[in-house]
Every structure is written in C-alpha cells, then in structure tokens.
Amino acid sequence: MSESLNPSASPSAPTPGEAAAGTSSAAAETGTVSSVHAPASAAAGIPDDLRAASFERQRRLRQEPRFPGGPAIDPAGSHHERRIRSFQPRRSRVTPGQEDALLRLWPKWGLDIDGQRVLDLPELFDGLPAVLEIGFGMGEATAQMAADDPGTGILAVDVHTPGQGNLLGLADRNGLSNIRVANGDAIILLREMLKPDSLDGLRVYFPDPWPKKRHHKRRLIQPEFLDLVAQRLKPGAVIHCATDWEPYAEQMLEVLTAHPLFENTLADGGYAPRPAFRPLTRFEGQGLDKGHVVHDLLFARR
C-alpha cells in the first residue's frame, strides 16, 4: 500500500475490550466539524458551542444526515421493530479529512442499512467473494486486510461516523476498490438485505464486551445471532471472532461450540492463534504490552 496504516502508538494502553479495530470504543481522530450545516439563526449572547449543540440536537430530531448525501442517522427508521442493540452509537468529532471523504466517497462506496432492498453482493464487488465485517473502528485493520487480499470484497459495517470517513479516505488514497462501508444495524443487514448463502466469511473483531452482567443480553455473539449468520454464510465459510475480554471469549467459545451448524476449525476445540491475515492493530499491541490476552475463534459453517 502507498500509505502506512499503522500510526504510531499513543502513550497509554486501552482497557480490556478496547483493544482493536472493531471495538465500540476505539479511539476517534480529533478535529473540528466544519459548518456543513450552519444554524439558521444565532441568539445573541449564547456561546457558539451551546448554539452548535442545540442545532445538532434539532438536526438529529429531524433525522437529517450529518453530511449532505452521507450516512443517515437512523437508516432503518420506523420500518423495523426496536430491539435490544449490541452497539451504542457515539457522537465524535469529524476531522476535515474525514468529512471530505464522506462528502466525496459515500455516494460511491457507502450504503445505508435501511432494510428496504436486497443487496447483490457479486454485483457490488464485481464478482469477488464477499466477507462481512461487523465493527471496524477507525478502519485501519480493514484497509490493511483489503490491501493484502484484493481478491476478496469486504462489506464493513459500523455506526461511527469518524471511522466511516477514515476508512473511505484510506480506501481512496490506497486504491482499494474492494471495500464498501455500510452504516447502521448489522442485524437488519443480515436479516433483511443479504441473500441466503451469500457470504464467504464473517469477521467480528473486538465487539463491545458489555461487561456488566445485566448487559450480557446486549452481547452480539448469541445463539439467535448465530442462527441468522448460519443462514447467510455459504457452507465452509468461516466466522472469525476476536476479543481481549476473557469472560466474553469463554461465552463465544461456548455458544459457537454448542451450535449445530458451526464447527471449530481447531482440532482441540479451543482458541486459535491469531491468523496472519488479521493485522495487529495499534491498540491491540498496546494492550498486549500490558498483559492483555487476545483470543481468536475460527468456526466453519457446516
């Protein structure tokens, strides 16, 4: 690739569950949001930051996109029942570079998960086999995997706007035409917008561990989720999970092992070594330096 995808490490290491690309608390790049939408009026004497916050709340209530032609706030809207979600959208600042990428590239490589259409993955990726990645953080690992394997299309799903812009920018600067960025709920994508036996793989790297017991129901890797995934994966396709949260790793191993349509690719039925194709990210490396243990799980669709 023409651009380094491994920025220098920051001085502090993450806490467990924040190790790498797909974590819901991956660090966002800092910056300022340029005034794509300026408040219609400004009350005299009100600080700029308070006016901007008020305008942002009003814009979200109106369901207006953050950027013209860019990712929608709630793409599925009222078309689908509300359920317990495994993710929690975060509002973070978008750098000028990320904003530029969203404005230029979202119409080309982005899509909203609205549940109103069925995707033709061979058409979307010009006949390439397609894998789904749920949660990509700032997109550095995703871009690296796309560069290392140009013969595979990656449909990368996240709700983090700075990460969406960052990944689009990386794809553009490095000539990666095998990435598509999806905005919204991956469950709706799997259930409503993907055909049976259409995926050649699924990647779930460092999902939110929801460590409190009362929040365990929010964890993504559950039997019901695997039922849905099994319908969308081709026979032999692999679901690859990774986490640095030991209790979540144990739950993943338990539910995957118990599912009749998945088989551990490891003969001993345990965790897998990190495959060479999964990049070691900045935050994962910092966590390893502090003694965090990362568990990879590789299960094939029977």
Q: Are 265 and 301 in contact (CB under 8 A)?
A: no
Catalytic status, residue 185? no
d(C-alpha 299, C-alpha 107), whole Å:
34
d(C-alpha 140, C-alpha 129), whole Å:
21
Of 89, 155, 96, 80, nearest to 120 (Cα)? 155
d(C-alpha 258, C-alpha 217), whole Å:
18
Q: Residue with structure tokens 């409190």?
A: 212
- The DSSP output letter for 189 is I
d(C-alpha 162, C-alpha 54), whole Å:
21
Beta bridge partners of 112: 183
- What the block records as the tokens of 241 is 């999970």
Given 114, 185, 200, 208, the catalytic residue: 208
Please list the active-site residues.
Answer: 208
